[in-house]
Amino acid sequence: MSVEIPSNMEEVAMKIAAAKVHGQDLATDEVIKDAVRDTMQAFMDEALEGHYDDVSWDGEQLVVTDFTSKQVGTVAPNGESFVANFKANADQLSLKLENAAAKIVGGR
């Protein structure tokens, strides 16, 4: 992924600590939610070879919309939330998001 997108809990803690140095307080769960959305966006951009679709939150699921604002896919967490999934196994969640992006792009 990207240096700016935390891929595990250690990187989440580092991002929070770096923000604190600059006087910014970040909540762990919000950093994780941003990381999950940004990871899915990165996988979509990679699969489409450019930024054509947008990933956003709708409750506890991710929604993918195309350039015409048409919903082209959704991704739901395993269990209660993506935050819980990330905390339990960030690598497994990343693989799930990568597979979901491939399925959404391949289904067109």
pLDDT in tens, 63-98: 999 999 999 999 999 999 999 999 999 999 999 999
Average pLDDT, the chain: 96
Count of domains forming the chain? 1
Q: How many Cα neighbours within 13 Å face the side chain of 82? A: 26
pTM above 0.75, yes or no: yes
- Within a domain: 38: yes
- Within a domain: 4: no
- Within a domain: 99: yes
Q: Is 27 left (phi over 0), alpha (psi -120 to 50) or beta?
A: beta
Confidence (pLDDT) at 25: 97
- Within a domain: 51: yes
Token code pair at residue 92:
């497994």
- Within a domain: 96: yes
- Within a domain: 88: yes
Q: Which domain holds residue 85?
A: 9-106
CB 33 within 8 A of CB 5: no
Residue 52 DSSP one-character state: -
